[in-house]
Amino acid sequence: MESHPSGIQLYLSNRLENLADALIENIRSQPGDPLNPTHILVQSRGMARWLSLRIADRTGIQMNTKYLFPKALVDQLLTGLLDIGQDDDCTPYSPNGLFWRIYKKLPDWANKPESRVLKHYLTSEQPKSAFLRRYQLALKLSRLMDNLQVYRSDLLKDWAKSDKENSWKSLIWKDLADEAIHFPGLLDDGYDRLASIINRPPTWPDSLHVIGISALPVTNLCLLKKISKWMPVSIYLTQPSPLYWGDQLSQKKQLRETENKNFSESHPLLGNLGMQGQQFLNQLIDIEVFASESTEYFSPPPTRNLLGQLKKDLYDLKSPPSEKQEAEAEGIEVHVCHNPLREIEVLKDTLLARFEADPELTPDQVIVMAPNIESYSSAIRSVFGIDGNEYKNHLPYSLTDQSKLSSSPEAKVLLGYLKLLEGRCTSNEVVSFLSMPLVSERFAFSEEDWEILSTWIQQTGIRWGINQAHREAISGSAFEEFSWTQGIDRLLAGVMVHGEAPCEWDPLPPYPHIEGGSTQLLNRFLEFWNSLEQRQTQASTLQRTTKWIRSTRTLLQLLFHPASGEIGNSSDLFQLLETLRNEATAQNSDEPMPLNVFISLLEDRLSEDHRAKGFFSGKITFCSLKPMRNIPVKIIALIGMNEGTFPRVEPKNEFTVLPGGTRSGDPSSRVNDRYLFLESILAAKSLFYISYSGMDPQTLETQPSSVVIEELLDILDDYFSFSKKQNSREALVSTEPLQAFSPRNFLPGNPKSFSQENLEAAEALTGPIGEQEPFISNFSLQNKDHLNGLELRELLIFFQNPCRYWLHHRLETSFPLTKSELEDTEPLEINPLQNFKIGNHLLIHDSSDPKHLAHLRDFLPLGALRETRIQENQRRAQEILARKKELQKTNPFPHSFRLQLGETVLDVAFPEIGEKSYVTTRYGKIRPQDILQTWIEHLCLCAQPVTDQFTSCCLGLEETVIFKYVSNAEGELHSLLNLFKQGQSAPLPLFSRTSHAFAEATLFPSPKARTAPIDRAYSVFNETPNAYYGYLYGESYDEEVSICFADTEIALDKTFESVALATFGRALSNYMEALD
């Protein structure tokens, strides 16, 4: 037997650097084969990275070091001792192995009398829901059984010896234990083996160093004690104080013990936050693992600032003093922000100030942690990324702890595709999937293609469902209307007929706008769609896990590697599928499951796969708040410290709570997080920074912070007094402005922000308000020749919206309009806009022709309601057409002519007019735009030789506007052409509804009117939705108008008044009648 001190050697210090140096000296001094690696047990990759750098800095080289995590170490020790070789992830007693075995056996267990609670949980009317419950319960129970093996091995042994079933948990364990090996059994076998061996097993390390561990289960500690007889084991433990603090009580417990006085009063922060550290220290003492007296490397913390004073009080276990210490508000900062983005902006400004004040501070001396760093990833990339003019303020950063689910584009594409198959496959879901960058690249879709596809989907009436069978499987309704199959059939029919008459296709009219390059886009879309449709049948049935895995591998090949066998960036997905296959096969649990369960399985595994890379890479480290991430650095920042977010609390129920009552060392996320907060305070050297979203950005109501922040501030008030008689909240807590460009961030002598762009915005907010310049001034009129061949159509477009015309036609600038949302459900009713489109269609076409009625199916609900709506709109359309025929009096005929108006030649064409009248129709309320258009058309007709009895009419559903013959039509047209020319060089202040209201109030004032016409114009221009104009916003909200006339005072000036009277004023003056 090899000779070395029996037992575990314990090294204690309040500084991790001292412990690391002690570890390095022990490695140097311990004998052994230099070719054998040094084994170091750590709890996180961040600790391993920091320790490697520390070793390299102290010795000049770091090599041949193997870092292990606790579970991997225990598995290595037991498998080496018992001479068994198994893959850690596929062992029957591992969490993953337990999951597959439990998933397989759950239905049998649920049918036993002792397991009524399981049967109740698994019962569901929907088969898919029942399988999903089974999957979720298997996950919970696998974690429970894993914890039982580690923390309740004595209870498991009692269950195994008992002949009766004490509970459903004992039933499950006995069944699992009888079937395969388990950790308590392996541990007992290992102890038996240890009693018979003489020399250390060859697979064991020469020595073991344990550092950066804040907690270990008692079973692991006992195993370390056992193996310390055969190899040196050293534990390097950080402690806040050289004094024994394992009996410190929280303030809550102290109140309970007030009468008994069974406690020694000391620093309350240790009692409030240090339960995990106390339990671990006491466990080490209770099991008597120490080979000798512990070696201590304690050193009092420096007290340069408030943070140092707090750590010194913790070091001395100082109880609340009768007289408070004087302290400067330096070293601890709490920032209250309105949202995560502002948290990161404030953090960056704070760090920039620190780097400017401390030339020796480097980015790798800053660690930023959050309870869930993924929720801050987009804000971090946005604020800390390099941004043009802000490059001088760029800080290098590394963002780690990103799961594959959130960081892998390939994973998002795969899950998105599977969810299309499993879900309703709505129009928005498909378009959203196709717009993903990898999918667009795979099928060569451009942004223009997405818009075209959206138009096709909208105009062919596609709402949801792959086909009739898919709809029936999801909703029980077996119909194909509004499905993808019907819409795609219409698109293909449109390609085949090439715009020919669609009557032979009734009642499935072809889509008429497929031509040219659109056919290539349709082919690319069909390549994607055919693959989805082919997999739909399989997706709706139960499949064994291995079959889902095979089909998913084929799908990955289709999505990412259609032309080659290389797997590229999706290699991790292939590896995950292979791991799942191996697990299911190894545990003989290739069970059937629906697609929704397989998707959940993939999501959970991808969420658990966090790649902890980027620690101490010379940059600021952003990471999740996890055990022993608190490496000693100058600045530690905790962000996202909101109530309910930290400390994290896991819901407790009978599927998660360990039986046998609460024991010291039991896993608890709340206890763990509290100790993490204490470790963070102790690890920060110069600044302990905290931020949280404590203000609602809309209501500005305060939101509570984490309870640990409140406890810290309360304790600081008990120990310290600040200048100006401030309490800790007044001295340390800063409420930040809502916006980064707030003038508060740039106060003279105390600026908080380094952003030049935000400074300019703040100066603009506080500077004098000068006269607003026009949108574009001195715009010279070009291309005058086009007025020689001006078409009436262009003139009408101009007067519909002069601002839009000027931007689109003169500047040739396109401003994207708000995209209409695709519909995801079949219509149950029609909205007013759809009703207008249907009625207008019936007015233009013969409303009795079935081939045109078939086109209306895309807007109308199914069943009898569809027929009712068609009949109702047919009736009203027939009424308008009858009135039109009555006013025309004669058969209409097409008419075109050319007007010479000074230097301008106006080409005019009408599809139909009567000998004495011109009649237009509108299926709805007549708008001011309709009045002006009819007026201009009427002037053109009156400017040619016609009878002086000629009239023009505009028919609506409820009203009729009639214009009488105008003898000076050419003069009126000259006036309008002058306005048209004026609108070529600058936006013309003509706004249909506002100008109409002004002209009407000026020419026909109401006796009861209490405001001037211009006040009426202001009211209409800025109005919010109302019933009079069909729930429309005022024209000041129009995108083109707001660009050209940002200031209402400029928009509604004297020019506006003259233009309104020259257009709508003249039209209203020539009403022959306006009949309701």
For residues 912 and 890, the answer to whether their CB atoms sit within 8 Å is: no
Joined tokens for residue 88: 């850690």
**What is the reported pLDDT for 388?**
43
Q: How far apart are CA 768 and CA 772, in angstroms?
A: 12
**What is the reported pLDDT for 1027?**
47
Q: Where in the chain is the domain with CATH 1.10.486.10?
A: 405-611
At 513, which amino acid appears?
H
Task: Outline where DSSP puts E strands in 914-991.
Answer: 917-921, 951-955, 960-963
Burial of 136 (0-12, 13-18, 19+ CB in 10 A): middle
Angle at the Cα of 530 from the Cα atoms of 525 and 533, rounded to 5 degrees: 125
**What is the reported pLDDT for 504?**
44
Number of other CB atoms surrounding residue 1031 within 10 Å: 10
Start-end of H helices in 374-508: 377-384, 404-407, 409-422, 427-434, 437-443, 447-459, 468-475, 484-497
**What is the reported pLDDT for 166?**
67
Q: Which residues contact 685 (CB under 8 A, 6 or more apart)?
A: 632, 633, 634, 635
Number of other CB atoms surrounding residue 36 within 10 Å: 12
Residue 189 CA, distance from chain mean position: 49
Beta bridge partners of 953: 919, 962
On the CB side of 1059, CA atoms within 13 Å amount to 23
Which residue in 23, 29, 62, 75 sits closest to 208, CA to CA? 23
Task: Outline where DSSP puts E strands in 610-703.
Answer: 610-611, 620-624, 633-638, 684-693
Q: How far apart are CA 666 and CA 649, in angstroms?
A: 14
Number of other CB atoms surrounding residue 62 within 10 Å: 16
The DSSP code for 658 is P
Q: How far apart are CA 186 and CA 192, in angstroms?
A: 10
State the helix-helix crossing angle for 545-560 and 409-422, rounded to 10 degrees: 120
**What is the reported pLDDT for 890?**
79
Q: Where in the chain is the domain with CATH 1.10.10.160?
A: 92-180
Q: What is the pLDDT of residues 846-903, one digit of tens each?
A: 555 555 566 666 667 777 777 787 788 888 888 888 888 888 877 888 889 989 888 8
Q: Order the strands of the 1071-1075 sheet from edge to edge.
A: 917-921, 951-955, 960-963, 1071-1075
DSSP 1015-1055: HHHHHHHTPPP-TTTTS---GGGSHHHHHH--SHHHHTSHH
Q: List the chain residues with pLDDT less than 50.
A: 1-2, 388-389, 501-505, 564-565, 781, 784-785, 817-818, 1027-1029, 1075-1076
Q: How far apart are CA 149 and CA 416, in angstroms?
A: 37
Q: Where in the chain is the domain with CATH 3.40.50.10930?
A: 8-86+205-299
* Burial call 1004-1023: b when 16+ CB within 10 Å, e when fewer: eeeeeeeeebbebbbebbeb
Q: Which residues contact 115 (CB under 8 A, 6 or more apart)?
A: 109, 168, 171
Q: What is the pLDDT of residues 15-62, one digit of tens each?
A: 999 999 999 999 888 766 777 889 999 988 888 888 999 999 888 888
CATH for the 405-611 domain, from 1.10.486.10, 3.90.1580.10, 3.30.750.24, 1.10.10.200: 1.10.486.10
pTM for this structure?
Answer: 0.82
**What is the reported pLDDT for 776?**
61
Q: How far apart are CA 498 and CA 483, in angstroms?
A: 23
Which residue in 286, 296, 247, 303 sits closest to 270, CA to CA? 247
For residues 501 and 461, the answer to whether their CB atoms sit within 8 Å is: no
**What is the reported pLDDT for 1?**
44
At 696, which amino acid appears?
D
For residues 1068 and 934, the answer to whether their CB atoms sit within 8 Å is: no
Q: Where in the chain is the domain with CATH 3.40.50.300?
A: 307-401+614-656+665-736
Domain 92-180 sits in CATH at: 1.10.10.160
Which residue in 990, 984, 967 sits closest to 779, CA to CA? 984
Instruction: For residue 623, report the phi and psi dihedrals to the nearest 5 degrees.
Output: -150, 175
**What is the reported pLDDT for 447?**
82
Joined tokens for residue 1068: 């209203």
The DSSP code for 772 is P
**What is the reported pLDDT for 772?**
56
Q: How far apart are CA 733 and CA 995, in angstroms?
A: 54
The DSSP code for 600 is H
Which residue in 378, 377, 381, 333 sits closest to 638, CA to CA? 333
What number of helices (H) and strands (E) belong to the chain? 44, 28
- Which CATH fold topology does 307-401+614-656+665-736 show? Rossmann fold (3.40.50)
Joined tokens for residue 715: 């304790």
**Is the domain covering 8-86+205-299 a CATH 3.30.360.10 domain?**
no
